[in-house]
């Protein structure tokens, strides 16, 4: 049996659940994400011995302890570097990287940028709760303008990072979003990321009931969701609303989106923009939509039609070509180019 072969007998969620006590605050959205991942992996037909979870520092980064797979709890912000190393060391491994909005977009922002542009073949799940939960509620890179916290008692004065837009700007070739409590959509989105041959970036809007409760209530509340969520489907019109009568279209003569209602001012189905997940420009527009004017776009925002080779594939191909040329000469390499001879000082 090779590392890529499926398990000899079907696995269940229990097979991917470790014996460690799950230690998150009651009501934390991390529980829902953990449950979704443990339910999804058996459906992928992967072997737990071939699966690795790599995390940084933060509440979300306790994730590897709760998975009955291989795992690596790294240091703050460095999960992308370690995950890249794991994938390069053994490209047959199925690598999942877990991070949060603080860990991934503050101290780890530079590392995440390079992971995305390199298109390393792994899945990246970013838990976004718009706060530093582990260190007791300081504002994070995604906290909204004016956010009051222990580190911003008078309110944050800097604009937040939009994770999906960041990923697109860094050259991410698969960018998606989901909500922690919408298990069906979350699992479907994670499966799509796993299918992608490169970095599958998934931002999960996740509630922190202790330090930032209700951060996403304005679009996740049951009585608001229909009017404030746009569930994207490739090739389908971007429609939403309680009666599915609202939609997005490009404002005539401008490269910007607007909300329209079918039947009003002569608007028809033909006016509604059809989602093309291969369109990078539209994906960037969708990433920046926010209530109350617009719905939040969920699902796959961008899935490059030409993802190109992954970083790990390219590195291993270069190594293969180098080995084909025969043994190298380290001494000659070290002495190649300009060299200097240091003479002893005359006495």
Report pLDDT digits (tens) over 17-65.
Answer: 999 999 999 999 999 999 999 999 999 999 999 999 999 999 999 999 9
pLDDT value, residue 3:
59
pLDDT value, residue 341:
79
Residues in the chain: 347
Count of C-beta atoms within a 10 Å radius of residue 121 = 21
8 A C-beta contact, residue 60 and residue 23: no
Stated pTM of the model: 0.93
Q: Cα–Cα distance between 139 and 137 in angstroms, integer?
A: 6
> Scanning the structure block, which residue is given the tokens 């796993």?
194
> Scanning the structure block, which residue is given the tokens 């191909």?
317
pLDDT value, residue 85:
97
The DSSP 8-state label assigned to residue 149 in this structure reads: B
- Does any domain span residue 228? no
Domain count, the chain: 1
Peptide bond just before 292 cis, omega within 30 deg: yes
Distances (CA, A) of 261 to 58, 244, 248, 264, 294: 42, 9, 9, 6, 13
pLDDT value, residue 218:
96
- CA angle at residue 92 from 89 to 97, to 5 degrees? 75
- CA angle at residue 255 from 284 to 246, to 5 degrees? 80
173 φ/ψ sector (left φ>0, alpha ψ -120 to 50, else beta): alpha
Distances (CA, A) of 77 to 55, 81, 235, 261: 9, 9, 37, 44
Q: What is the pLDDT along the chain (347 residues), one digit of tens a residue?
A: 565 677 878 999 999 999 999 999 999 999 999 999 999 999 999 999 999 999 999 999 999 999 999 999 999 999 999 999 999 999 999 999 999 999 999 999 999 999 999 999 999 999 999 999 999 999 999 999 999 999 999 999 999 999 999 999 999 999 999 999 999 999 999 999 999 999 999 999 999 999 999 999 999 999 999 999 999 999 999 999 999 999 999 998 899 999 999 999 999 999 999 999 999 999 999 999 999 999 999 999 999 998 888 999 999 999 999 899 998 888 888 888 877 778 888 76
pLDDT value, residue 2:
61
- Does any domain span residue 136? yes
Q: Which domain holds residue 124?
A: 13-215
pLDDT value, residue 289:
97
- Does any domain span residue 126? yes
pLDDT value, residue 4:
67
pLDDT value, residue 336:
85
pLDDT tens for each residue of 59-93: 999 999 999 999 999 999 999 999 999 999 999 99
pLDDT value, residue 5:
77
DSSP H or E stretch at residue 54:
strand 51-55
Q: Cα–Cα distance between 237 and 311 in angstroms, integer?
A: 34
- Does any domain span residue 288? no
Q: Helix H segments across the chain?
A: 30-44, 79-89, 101-102, 109-118, 163-169, 183-195, 217-220, 225-228, 280-287, 311-324, 330-334
Which domain CATH number covers 205?
Answer: 3.40.50.970
pLDDT value, residue 157:
96
pLDDT value, residue 308:
84
- Does any domain span residue 335? no
8 A C-beta contact, residue 10 and residue 42: yes
């Amino acid at each position: 049996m090779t590392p890529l072969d499926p398990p000899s007998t079907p696995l269940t969620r229990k097979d991917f659940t470790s014996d460690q006590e799950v230690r998150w605050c009651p009501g934390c959205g991390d529980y829902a994400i953990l449950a979704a991942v443990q339910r999804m992996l058996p459906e992928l037909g992967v072997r737990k011995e071939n699966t690795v979870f790599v995390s940084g520092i933060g509440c979300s980064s306790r994730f590897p302890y709760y998975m009955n797979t291989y795992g690596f709890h790294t240091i703050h912000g460095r999960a992308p570097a370690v995950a890249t190393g794991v994938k390069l060391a053994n490209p047959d491994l199925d690598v999942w990287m877990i991070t949060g909005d603080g860990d991934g977009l503050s101290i780890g922002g530079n590392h995440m940028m390079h992971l995305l542009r390199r298109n390393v073949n792994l899945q990246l799940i970013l838990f976004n709760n718009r706060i530093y939960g582990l260190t007791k509620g300081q504002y994070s890179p995604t906290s909204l303008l004016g956010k009051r916290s222990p580190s911003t008692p008078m309110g944050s004065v800097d604009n937040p990072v939009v994770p999906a837009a960041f990923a697109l700007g860094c050259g991410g070739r698969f960018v998606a979003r989901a909500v922690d409590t919408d298990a069906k959509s979350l699992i479907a989105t994670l499966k799509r990321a796993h299918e992608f041959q490169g970095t599958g970036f998934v931002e999960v809007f996740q509630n922190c009931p202790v330090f930032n409760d209700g951060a996403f209530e304005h679009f996740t509340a049951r009585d608001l969701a229909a009017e404030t969520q746009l569930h994207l489907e490739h090739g389908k019109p971007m429609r939403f609303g309680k009666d599915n009568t609202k939609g997005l279209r490009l404002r005539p003569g401008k490269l910007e989106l607007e909300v329209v209602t079918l039947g009003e001012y002569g608007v028809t189905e033909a006016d509604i923009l059809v989602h093309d997940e291969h369109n990078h420009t539209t994906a960037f527009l969708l990433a920046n939509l926010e209530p109350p004017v617009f719905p939040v776009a969920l699902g796959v925002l961008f899935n490059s039609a030409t993802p190109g080779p992954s970083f790990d594939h390219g590195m291993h191909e270069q190594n293969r070509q180098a080995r084909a040329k025969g043994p190298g000469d380290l001494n000659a390499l070290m002495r190649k180019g300009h060299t200097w001879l240091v003479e002893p000082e005359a006495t």
